[in-house]
Structure 1
Amino acid sequence: MPRDSTSAPAASSTNITITRVRVFVDYWNFQLTLNERIAKSKKLADTRFQIEWRKLGPWLAARACEAAGLSGHSFEGAHLYVSYDPRKESDKKFFGWVNSWLTKQPGLIVECRERKPKAAPDCPECHQTIADCPHCKRPIRPSQEKGVDTLIATDMIRLAWESAYDLAVLATSDRDLVPAVEFLNTKGRKVVHAALPPKGADLSSVSWAMFDVFDRYTEIERPPVK
Structure 2
Amino acid sequence: MTAVPPVPISRLRVRIFVDWWNFSLSLKRKDSNFNTDWRPIGPLLASEAGKMVDPSAPAIFEGMHVYGSFDPNKPNDVRLRNWFTNKLDKMPGTHVVLLARQKKKGYPKCPQCQAEATHCHACGADMRGTEEKGVDTRIVADMISLAWAQAYDVAVLVSADRDFVPVAEFLQTKGIKVVHGAFPPNGSHLSQKCWANIDISKLMAQFKRP
TM score, norm. by length of structure 1: 0.80
Q: Which of residues 14, 18, 23 in structure 1 aligns to 2:11?
A: 18
Aligned: 1:80 with 2:66 = yes
Residue type of the alignment partner of 1:60:
L
Contact 1:195/1:211 (CA < 8 Å) preserved in 2?
yes
Contact 2:15/2:155 (CA < 8 Å) preserved in 1?
yes
Q: Which moved more, 1:82-91 or 1:68-77?
A: 68-77
Which structure would you say has the larger Rg? Answer: 2
**Equivalent position of 1:32 in the other structure:** 25
Aligned: 1:100 with 2:86 = yes
Q: Which of residues 140, 153, 170 in structure 2 aligns to 1:153?
A: 140
SS of the residue aligned with 2:39? Answer: helix
Q: CA deviation at 1:100?
A: 1.6
List, as ranges, runs of 4+ consecutive aligned residues in structure 1 with deviation greater than 6 Å: none
Contact 1:23/1:169 (CA < 8 Å) preserved in 2?
yes
Deviations 1:44-101 (A, max 9, x none): xxx1421111111111111111233433111100001121111111101111121221
Deviations 1:124-166 (A, max 9, x none): xxxxxx7744735452735513321111111000100110000
Percentage of pairs with the same residue: 45
**Equivalent position of 2:208 in the other structure:** 221
CA distance in 1, matches of 2:153, 2:21: 26
CA distance in 2, matches of 1:131, 1:28: 23
1:145 to 1:221, Cα distance in 2 relative to 1, 3 A: same
CA distance in 2, matches of 1:131, 1:173: 26
Q: Which of residues 94, 119, 143 in structure 1 aligns to 2:105?
A: 119
CA distance in 2, matches of 1:95, 1:143: 16
Paired residues in the alignment total 194
Contact 1:115/1:144 (CA < 8 Å) preserved in 2?
yes
Aligned: 1:52 with 2:37 = yes
Aligned: 1:166 with 2:153 = yes
SS of the residue aligned with 1:54? Answer: coil
**Equivalent position of 1:6 in the other structure:** none
Structure 2, unmatched stretches of 5+, are 1-5, 118-126
CA distance in 1, matches of 2:53, 2:28: 26
Residue type of the alignment partner of 1:158:
S
Structure 1, unmatched stretches of 5+, are 1-12, 39-46, 121-129
